[in-house]
Amino acid sequence: MKKWFKYVRPYLLYFILGPIGIIMEVVGEVIMPRLLAIVINNANAGTLTTGTSMGVMGLMILTALLMMAGGVAGSYFGTKASVNFAADVRKDVYANIQRFSFANIDKFSTGSLVTRMTNDVTQVQNFVNMLLRMTLRAPGMMIAALVMALILRPKLTTIFAVSMPLLLLSIGAIILRGHKFFRAMQAKVDGLNATVQENVTNVRVVKSFVREDYEIEKFGTANRNLKEAGMRAMKNMIMLSPVMTIFMNATVIAVIMFGGPIVVRGDMPVGDLSAFITYTTQILMSLMMITFMLMMSSRAMASANRIQEVLQEEPDINDRNAAYRDLTVQKGSVEFRNVTFRYYKTSEDAVLEKINLQIPQGATVGIIGSTGCGKTTLVSLIPRLYDVDEGAVFVDGVNVKNYTIENLRNGVGMVLQQNTLFSGSIAENLRWGDENATDEEMKQAAEYAQAAKFIESFKDGYETLLDQGGTNVSGGQKQRLCIARALLKKPKILILDDSTSAVDTATEAQIRKAFKEDLADSTKIIIAQRISSVEHADMIVVMDDGKITGIGTHDELLESNEEYREIYDSQMELRKKEG
Amino acid sequence: MARKLEELQKQYNSASQQLKNMRGGRGPGGPGGMAMRQAGKPKDTAKTIARMLSYAKGYGGRFIGVLCCMLTTTLTSLIGSYFMAPIVDRLALAVNPNAEINMSVFERIADSVIQKILASTGHPSDAIMPYIAIACILLATVYLVGVATTYTQARLMLSISQNTIEKIRNDLFSKLQRLPVRYFDSHPTGEVMSRFTNDVDNIDMMINNSLTSLVSGIITLIGTFIFMVTTNWVLTIITIVFIPLFLLGGGAIAKRSRKYYAAQQAALGALNGYIEETVTGSKVVKVFNHEEICEEEFMLLNEDMRNKQFGANFWGGVMGPIMGNMSQISYAVTVGIGGIMMILGKLTPGGLTVFVTYTRQFSMPVNMIAQQMTTVFAALAGAERVFEVMDTPPETPDAENADPMSNMQGFVVMKDVTFGYVPDKIVLKNINLYAKPGQKIAFVGSTGAGKTTVTNLLNRFYDIEQGTITIDGVNIKDIKRDVLREKIAMVLQDTHLFTGTIMENIRYGRLDATDEEVIQAAKTASAHSFIMRLSDGYNTVIEGDGANLSQGQRQLLNIARAAISKAPILVLDEATSSVDTRTERHIEHGLARLMNERTTFIIAHRLSTVRNSNAIMVLEQGEIIERGDHDDLLAQKGRYYELYTGKRELA
């Protein structure tokens, strides 16, 4: 709770004024029956005059207008409070995500972060809104009505002492039971939706294996299960209204039964009895509202916790210990010294184990090995996307932890395996590499990445708008755009993580040529599946299961490294035959 | 350089639209969970309602039951309120015997019933306590009947709605399975999904809540009106005079609220679109030190949202207090005029007590009906879209004398095949080829050259208009479609798996395969070793679309799934593109065995994969420009040679 106060404080006035408006409305609501009682009592006593009637009417209209004003003010300030609250929370969550390291992101997964920022924030916002406008209203109403009832006839209120706990208990029991049923139903709903989604995306598979009837039958079962779960949940919920009605009416009857004699004795005017009955309904109704609110709040609390998790998450890679704040990457040599790394700090198997590797400035290094052997992890340590567990990584002889993250990453251009392009024009996307790049520089980078030709073939050239995720360019084109984006950074160290897999061999060769001739000074580290992508490298690193099993040139490795030879044979069989 | 707000709004609003289409479901939430549902107005309301009713056929009895229950419930609640009148009036008489009480029709009836019981139990007619006791017992009975009918009605309605919805869902899904592939090309997943989620949910909500609320609202309205008129017609007129005022005020607020709401939804769309994209791509953001620019752009959208959201929430929220308190004013006027009428002796205190209760009851259903109409229209529009899917023509049915092809050899001939997905855009032109049983035919060419299309025609995902395709001499249009597809095993480019165990996923290829056969198939596809390394082996449950497996592993499972089927024709469409080369080499033997017994069509990106084919077709812009085996083609020094030696780019 204290953690949330930070977002309340700037809007404290709204947070206070909102409920005041609502309370105004509530007070009016309990005054109304009291005013009616005046008319009824006077009528019964035969003392009612036109003046009294009109006076009461005037008072009631005034009350109604004040209530309206209170309600509108409550709505105004309540909305101001909740909207600003949510906007500030969103701002902070987003800002914190921007400071996250890759490890922080992995911990939550990007999908979950998106949900937390959108759905969960909305949940909490709606809850705050409801809290300000409804939740306070119900207890306020209950208290006000109780007070009025007490003023009218303290003894009669003892009836509530019996009926209120009973009502609370039975509604609570139904809701609690319902919770379980609804969770079960939601799981079935999710399952059914997943089945539909799967069948729509897999329509070709279903059809090619002629599994339509099989799927229909499977769906039918899932659908029936959902129906049954839904029935269970709803059967429980439809108990609510009858149970409520019973309690409400029983209480009203009790009030009449006990109140009647008092009236007959002449101790209470009849009008007061009907006012009392109105209060009874108001009290029990608010009690029910409170129960519902509590139920709703449990969902909001879950969301609130999920947001706090993100807000509380400490970015685990930061500049705090950077010794050389102004140092930038000048040359681009890299050294791994005894590096060990685990993604999960508790797991026994290390992803990288005791890696030692030296890469001189300007070298072209190829890294090859089967999926999951740690290639990506290894290169991720250079721009400090992750921090090593043991050992150290040096760039230009300086431990990467001693650079500021900004300076380090400015010196390292990396094309990730999951390359993402963003909504916007091609030019905007490329300028991610260097926002101040001239058109010439941009075209040059595209040229090197062999992207210039296809970009210029588009009607709008560099101004062509990319859809989200770059779905309107082919896989190979996307990869080349990502390379161009990284090249625009003019990095001292360029890392390509399997970034040419969708680019055909010929184009890849041209990219390689450009690297060699035009980026001679930069250190280039290339992870690849194909031998042809790395065979001309100055140095090839063969990895297997988190370890380096061989370092050398193509020819050396063919001689000495069995694994390399195996990969090579599988790919080059034919060429050898022809050669 | 951070972009400007307008630019961001333009880009991300459309982006979030697309995303919604892709993902389907509810979209990224927002306070407008409701508004994200496609609303809109139904086009042919009468027809849609008639069709909805046809689903409720067989529930006629239950419907009548529901209606009876509703009538009883409403009646009991009205009578319940009415019993207060004689109680209050008799109490007043007891206190002040000289008071003049002028009861209304129903009050007199209620009073005389109580009096009769009072007499039959041997009490004098002015015994006030027994009178109240009897009134309370009657009241309790009425309430209990009301409770019983409320529950029965809800229970009946529940079974009607749940069964109807189940049937609609089943029908919709069955229909989906019968739709041609072409349908899914023009309807994104999200759109189809929203038929199942939003539209069916809306229908469900309508049947379950709105329908009953609407009907019971109308009954209450009429009932209350009758009771009001009989109690006091002057006060009734006053109440009615206020109704147009309500509607006017409500309408004015609703109009404003809708306007602001639309603006908020647009802002929300842009904001959520931006969050989706930059948070999902946050690793790239970090690699490029782009965090500050993202924060700046986010701030712009967030501030915009802050402003728009205020307008929408305020106008939405102010509706309740204004409308509610307007009915308080009508209540006040009723009390004032009622007071004067009591002075004139035209109304009893009990009558006024009851009447003001009715005044409140009267404004409630008016508001409720207005609210429910929105839901009903949304549901009808949803139902219309659901029926639209159900009315889409399915795949053309088999001819009556369609060939069951019990012993297919796999001799495939394509003759002069010309095809386009849309009429004026030809994708394949004059394709001629033949493949003898057991032969391997490969297709090479750039993206969009038509490679995948060729295989799509073979299994009749699309029907050709020009040319013929025959298998064992029979035109594929004359073969039973199910048989045709069963005889062609496909390993598709996109690796699609189903939620379920690995065992089940492989067995998808042939449902009656034994566990041993499944394992054998997995071994053929070189999937056995990685499966055994998973925590539950073959019983490992694959989540979603195989998200817990690597792309390469999923491809291996796809191959195993094809391997288990006994189809004489095999299509490999980029089947090993994500498998690393070492593993690919391992499965080569398995694949070779697989292909040996079957006529195989191979589409591959890596030219090394196709070199052993009997014939390689080089496709360009829908035409076969070169054909022959690997050596022939190299000797020709044509396009294949250029591609192979790296002189030309394959886009």
- Mean pLDDT to the nearest integer, B512-530: 91
Q: Give the Cα separation of A550 and A570 in Å (integer).
A: 18
Examine the pLDDT at A569 and tell me if it is beyond 70: yes
Which of A211, A269, A509 is the closest to B646 by Cβ?
A509
Most distant CA pair in chain A: distance in Å?
A: 122
* A204–B499 CB contact, under 8 Å: no
Higher-scoring residue by pLDDT: B517, B499: B517
Q: How confident is the model at residue A187 (pLDDT cuts 50, 70, 90)?
A: confident
Q: At B248, is the pLDDT very low, low, confident or very high (cuts 50, 70, 90)?
A: confident
* Closest approach of B22 to chain A, Cα-based (Å): 11
User: Does the pLDDT at position B226 exceed 50?
Assistant: yes
CB contacts, 8 Å: B24 with chain A: 197
Query: Per the CB < 8 Å rule, is A82 touching B490?
Result: no
Q: How far is residue B543's CA from residue B547's CA, in Å, rounded to a whole number?
A: 6
> Among partner residues B333, B582, B650, which is closest to A504 by beta-carbon distance?
B650
The predicted model gives B298-326 an average pLDDT of 88
Considering chain A, what is the average pLDDT of its residues?
86
Q: Over the range B605-614, which residues count as b (16 or more CB within 10 Å of their CB) and which as e?
A: bbbbbbbbbb
- Has residue B21 got a pLDDT over 50? no
Which stretches does DSSP call E strand in A430-567? 465-466, 493-497, 523-527, 539-544, 547-552
Chain A CA closest to residue B510: A209
Of residues B98 and A34, which shows the higher confidence score?
Answer: A34
CA dist., res. A164 & res. A287, Å (int): 8
Separation of alpha carbons A173 and A175, rounded Å:
6
pLDDT at residue B605, rounded to an integer: 65
Of A226, A261, A270, the CB nearest to B349: A270
Highest mean pLDDT pick, A416-420, A469-473, B307-311: B307-311
**What is the distance between the alpha carbons of residues A577 and A174, in angstroms, rounded to a whole number?**
78
Mean pLDDT of chain B, nearest integer: 83
Q: Are A400 and A393 in contact (CB under 8 A)?
A: yes
Is residue A572 over pLDDT 70?
Answer: no
Instruction: Output the pLDDT for position A541.
Output: 94
Cα A376-A380-A386 angle, rounded to 5 deg: 125
> Of B469, B472, B468, which Cα lies nearest the Cα of B411?
B472
Output phi, psi for B432, to 5 deg.
-125, 130
Determine what percent of chain A is predicted with pLDDT higher than 90. 32
Reported as a pLDDT band with limits 50, 70 and 90, residue B15 is: very low
Residue A523: pLDDT band (50, 70, 90) is very high
φ, ψ of residue A561 to 5 degrees: the values are -115, 115
Alpha carbon distances (Å) from A47 to A292, B344, B349: 44, 12, 13
A chain contacts of residue B358, beta-carbon cutoff 8 Å: none
State yes or no: pLDDT of B646 exceeds 70: no
Question: Where do the H-state alpha helices sit in B195-290?
Answer: 200-205, 211-231, 233-280, 282-287
pLDDT of B14 reads 56
Take residue A38 and report the two structure tokens written for it: 């005046």
Chain B residue at shortest CA distance from A428: B1
Average pLDDT over residues B538-551: 72
**B615 pairs with which residues across the strands?**
B441
If DSSP codes are grouped into helix, strand and coil, which group holds residue B626? Answer: strand
Query: Rounded to an integer, what distance in angstroms lies between the CA atom of residue A283 and that of residue A146?
Result: 7
Quote the pLDDT of residue A462: 93
pLDDT computed for residue B649 by the predictor = 47
Where does the pLDDT of residue A577 fall: very low under 50, low under 70, confident under 90, or very high at 90 and above?
A: very low
Q: Which residues of A touch B3 (CB under 8 A)?
A: 424, 428
- Chain B residue nearest residue A106, CA to CA: B283
Characterize the bridge pairing of strands A493-497 and A523-527.
parallel
Can you tell me the mean pLDDT for B469-487?
92
Across the interface, do A256 and B87 touch by the CB < 8 Å criterion? yes
pLDDT value at residue B648: 53
**Structure pTM?**
0.73
Q: Are B236 and B90 in contact (CB under 8 A)?
A: no
Q: Which residues of A touch B338 (CB under 8 A)?
A: 39, 53
User: Is the confidence at residue B609, as pLDDT, over 80?
Assistant: no
∠ Cα B623 B624 B627 (to 5°) = 175
pLDDT tens column, B29-66: 333 333 333 445 566 788 888 888 888 888 889 989 99
ipTM exceeding cut-off 0.90 for this assembly: no
Lowest mean pLDDT among B11-25, B103-117, B358-372, B373-387: B11-25
What does the DSSP 8-state code read for residue B577?
T
The pLDDT, as a whole number, for residue B110 is 86
Whether residue A571 is predicted with pLDDT greater than 80 in this model: the reply is no
